[in-house]
Amino acid sequence: MITVLWVDDEIQHLRSHIKYLEKRDYRVLTAHSGQQALDILSANQVDIVLMDQMMVGMDGLETVSSIRKSNHVLPIVMVTQSEEEELMDLAIGGEIDDYLTKPVNPSQILLVIKRLLMGNRLKTQRAAREMIDQTTRIMDLRGKEMNWQNWVDIYRSWVEKDVASDGSLAEEMRSFDKSRLDDINLDFSKHVEHNYAGWISGTDSDSPLMSHNYLERVVVPEMDSADELVMMVIDCMRYDQWLTMAPILEKWFHIETDFMFTLLPSATPYSRNSIFAGLLPRDIWRFHRHKWNENYGEAGLNKHEHYFLTEALRRLGCDRNIQPSYAKVSNRREGEALRHSLSKSLENGFFAIVVNYIDHLTHGRSELDLIKDLAPDVASFRKLAETWFKSSFLKDLFHTLAARGTTIVITSDHGSVFTSRDTRFKGRGISGSLRFRFGNSLVADQKAVISIRNPAEWGLPDDRPSKGYLFARSNYFMMFQNVPREELHKFKNTFQHGGVSLEEMIVPSIILKPKSLG
């Protein structure tokens, strides 16, 4: 039951209002003075305070000031006859949460209580109902009538509702059968399994924007229309993490939001090299074999991005004399140096930047118990990324670019998925990560893994006979048959990438156009 404390030196005139609330199962405590209100608060759990301003002795503002010394988040509503703007300013400055002018009717009081105490919960419950209905419709379709745009729409809707609820949507949805939500991602993996080869071959007339055609379909058209263009790849950025950055940038930019499907494996050596080369991994290996390396875990898997970008822009018909500037940033020191050298980097009107911080944070969470304790779930990890951005060099860089009038195109090479289910596999000559593997004679559970025996059709190098790939579906991670159980627990409930899930494969494609300073 919600408890309301109503403070008014003429409380007897408000009996009808109090009875109105009590009929709706609110418990109402009353106080005739500020001091009595403080005494009641010291002895009772109270959810919200309705405070009169004009009282004998301690007035409303003085009482609020005393309450705030020990109750910093308790909602307080000022209810007063005064309409003076100065008093409104003082009240709001004194940390009240709302302001009502007498006379008030009971429904006004009920509305403000619901808004302050239950507004977010009611929004979250409504969003949860909408997502359950949407999920049920998709489960009825079982993927047969879904196209890639439908999958983008369901993922976008889910993420935006969860971010708007500050992560409460996921909590609310726990009452819904979680296995059905996991099945959505399994159905998505089946959709990818059936359509991916057509997307990358060009035989599908309705193919999504993907890593290997991002330059051609997004970057080059913007180069033709912008005086200055920055291409930014934020490594391992999910759509929900982008949504925590966007509100800060709305002050400086018009934001156009679209989405891109990453190539498989949804991992840096493949999907990011493809962004800069404008080629499938298979074709990078064929045409630039001396610069191809897929020995996952080795340093320098992306050390040729500047070369790939230069060659790709020439191939796509850009100015043959252009030597695009390129930088990779992993910390504040490098970021500040980049920001102070922008004029030189943008001399040719184009600058490509890779920002590695979120990727470092993602991998650090898997390796450091401290980060895992700080961010035990998706919502808290998102909050950690948001906290970084608010005080980062990247925010300052965006502000500087806006002031210059520079257009920015932003995407990510891949996202990440919160893994919770393990599956076992076996094979020979195996390399890769928890979410993808390649080697010979690979065997795995087809319910948990997509098995690829024809790499070239999937845009992957077929550099040796019998080579195959495995991609983990949904939230599975792959472990060897005889791995110790303690090793399994080390990777359970960590953020991983390289496989097939909505969170890994559907990444934002953003265009920021600076707002006029005038």
- Containing H/E element for 7? strand 3-7
What does each of the 518 residues of the chain score in pLDDT, given as a tens digit? 889 999 999 888 899 999 999 999 999 999 999 999 999 999 999 999 999 988 888 888 889 989 988 888 899 998 887 767 666 776 666 678 888 888 889 999 999 998 888 766 666 677 667 767 766 666 666 556 788 998 998 899 888 888 877 766 666 566 554 556 677 889 999 999 999 999 999 776 789 999 999 999 999 999 988 899 999 999 999 999 999 999 999 999 999 999 999 999 999 889 999 999 999 999 999 999 888 888 766 666 788 999 999 999 999 887 645 679 999 998 889 999 999 999 999 998 999 999 998 888 887 777 777 788 888 888 888 999 999 999 999 999 999 999 999 999 999 999 999 999 999 999 988 888 899 999 999 999 999 999 999 999 999 999 888 899 999 999 999 998 888 877 788 888 899 999 999 999 999 999 999 998 65
State which amino acid sits at residue 397: L
pTM of the model: 0.81
List Cβ neighbours of 227 (8 Å cut-off, separation of 6 or more): 349, 405
Residue among 261, 257, 262 at smallest CA distance from 272: 262
| Burial annotation 422-433 (CB, 10 A radius, 16+ → b, else e) | bbbbebeebebb
State which amino acid sits at residue 336: E
Residues in the chain: 518
CA-CA distance, 45 to 3, in Å (whole number)?
A: 7
Evaluate whether 508 touches 239 at the Cβ level (below 8 Å).
Answer: yes
CA-CA distance, 425 to 397, in Å (whole number)?
A: 45
Instruction: Report the largest interatomic distance among the alpha carbons of the chain, rounded to a whole angstrom.
Output: 91
